[in-house]
């Protein structure tokens, strides 16, 4: 068997004699990525697998109801960071709501176009009073 290139890291590797169709090297990063992609694809295409995953999560949460409470007590820095990020997400949502519903109060950014500069037109210079441009722009 010849060497192959890993589809993730592009390094050459020798495929396993037990898995001749192997396309990913044995590096832990590449294997993790392979498993992640497989799981995502399986979740998209297999309804039974998706249901089993949902049931497994529900079962674990029912057996560990106070997990998040304990986690937040042990990790106050994560709580503070999450609070800051949530405030940012809330602000973005308020702006989106404002864009879709003008009756909602929130931050409003007013962007005005600059007045167009008026250069000499078709009229001759003799017809324009002195300082007309500065009066328009000011």
Which pLDDT value is given to residue 1? 62
Which pLDDT value is given to residue 134? 52
Which pLDDT value is given to residue 113? 73
Between 94 and 11, name the one with better pLDDT.
11
Which pLDDT value is given to residue 2? 83
Contacts of 30 (CB under 8 A, 6+ apart): 6, 8, 9, 24
Which pLDDT value is given to residue 19? 92
Contact 30, 10 (CB under 8 A): no
Query: Using one digit for the tens of pLDDT, what is the confidence trace for 70-103?
Result: 999 999 999 999 999 999 999 988 888 876 765 5
Query: Using one digit for the tens of pLDDT, what is the confidence trace for 28-87?
Result: 999 999 999 999 999 999 999 999 999 999 999 999 999 999 999 999 999 999 999 999
Residue 48, H or E segment: helix 47-63
DSSP state of 115: P
Q: What is the mean pLDDT of residues 2-29?
A: 94
Residue 68, H or E segment: helix 67-74
Which pLDDT value is given to residue 111? 73
Between 123 and 27, name the one with better pLDDT.
27
């Amino acid at each position: 068997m010849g060497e192959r290139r890993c589809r993730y890291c592009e390094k050459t590797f020798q495929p396993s004699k037990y898995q001749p169709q192997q396309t990913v090297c044995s590096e832990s990063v590449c294997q993790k990525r392979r498993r992640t992609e497989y799981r995502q694809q399986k979740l998209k295409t297999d309804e039974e697998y998706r249901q089993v995953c949902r049931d497994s999560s529900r079962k674990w949460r029912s057996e560990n109801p106070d997990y998040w409470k304990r986690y937040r007590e042990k990790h106050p820095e994560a709580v503070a960071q999450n609070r800051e990020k949530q405030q940012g997400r809330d602000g973005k949502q308020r702006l989106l709501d404002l864009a879709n519903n003008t009756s909602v109060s929130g931050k409003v950014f007013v962007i005005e176009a600059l007045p167009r500069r008026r250069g000499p037109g078709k009229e001759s210079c003799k017809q324009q009073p002195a300082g007309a441009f500065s009066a328009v722009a000011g």
